[in-house]
Amino acid sequence: MVLSRIPAWSGNVLKRVVKSPRLYWRDSGLCHALLGLRSQNDILDQPWVGHSWEGWVVEQIINAFQLAGIAASPSWFRTQDQLEADLILEFGAERWAIEVKLTSLPKSEDMRALRKVSELVAATRSILVSRTHDSAWGEKEASVNLNALLAHIKKGGGKKWQ
């Protein structure tokens, strides 16, 4: 399967939410090759590079849960006023709201917006994934790079935080 279809989160919220599924390329490298993009600069010059990064990161996270033997249900969330989480993962008693940013310097506004989404979906954890070199793990939230999050999932995901 070339595309991955992730349903919209279907929980009960008061705000108007987008209900259509989101499509991601399962293999962003294949997408880039089909478009004739040969270098990192070719990719970074594209106006849709953030969406490509999001899709790749979402696919990595979902695969990491599968490899760890954790049955997680993925969805995504966005309100009509553009509050968004690229991935809502539900497994066991956990519900993670995950936002993906291409930047290496995430802004405090990114985490504030993710906190609002987390409140709307009653998330147990809020995770901002970016290309940062630093990882910050809080009691119920984290701002991490993908490698740190994948290592955490490999160790058991929601069973142990930090």
pLDDT band at 20 (very low <50, low <70, confident <90, very high): confident
pLDDT band at 22 (very low <50, low <70, confident <90, very high): confident
Name the nearest CA neighbour of 121 among 150, 162, 69, 83. 83
Q: What is the CATH number of the domain that holds 77?
A: 3.40.1350
Phi, psi of 116 (to 5 degrees): -60, -45
Residue 81 lies in a domain: yes
Name the nearest CA neighbour of 97 among 70, 79, 124. 124
What is residue 17's predicted lDDT score, i.e. its pLDDT?
A: 72
Q: Which two tokens stand for residue 97?
A: 């709201």
What is residue 16's predicted lDDT score, i.e. its pLDDT?
A: 72
Residue 144 lies in a domain: yes
Q: What is the pLDDT of residues 76-132, one digit of tens each?
A: 998 888 899 999 999 999 999 999 998 889 999 999 999 999 999 999 999 999 999
Distances (CA, A) of 133 to 44, 84, 120: 19, 24, 29
Residue 13 lies in a domain: no
Task: Decide if 111 contacts 141 (C-beta within 8 A).
Answer: yes
CB atoms within 10 A of CB 148: 18
Name the nearest CA neighbour of 116 among 74, 85, 138, 88. 85
**Which residue is associated with the tokens 């594209």?**
46
Q: What is the pLDDT of residues 34-88, one digit of tens each?
A: 566 677 766 666 665 557 678 889 999 999 999 999 999 999 998 888 899 999 9
What is residue 45's predicted lDDT score, i.e. its pLDDT?
A: 65
Give residue 98's domain range. 3-8+23-159
Q: What is the pLDDT of residues 139-153, one digit of tens each?
A: 899 999 999 999 999
Number of domains making up the chain: 1
Share of the chain above pLDDT 70, in %: 75
What is residue 63's predicted lDDT score, i.e. its pLDDT?
A: 92
Residue 14 lies in a domain: no
Residue 103 lies in a domain: yes
Alpha helical stretches, state H, 38-159: 40-44, 49-67, 108-121, 146-154
What is residue 121's predicted lDDT score, i.e. its pLDDT?
A: 94
Residue 92 lies in a domain: yes
* Separation between Cα atoms, residue 74 and residue 96, nearest integer Å: 10
**Which residue is associated with the tokens 């349903």?**
7
What is residue 3's predicted lDDT score, i.e. its pLDDT?
A: 66
* Separation between Cα atoms, residue 35 and residue 33, nearest integer Å: 5
Residue 72 lies in a domain: yes
What is residue 34's predicted lDDT score, i.e. its pLDDT?
A: 59
Residue 119 lies in a domain: yes
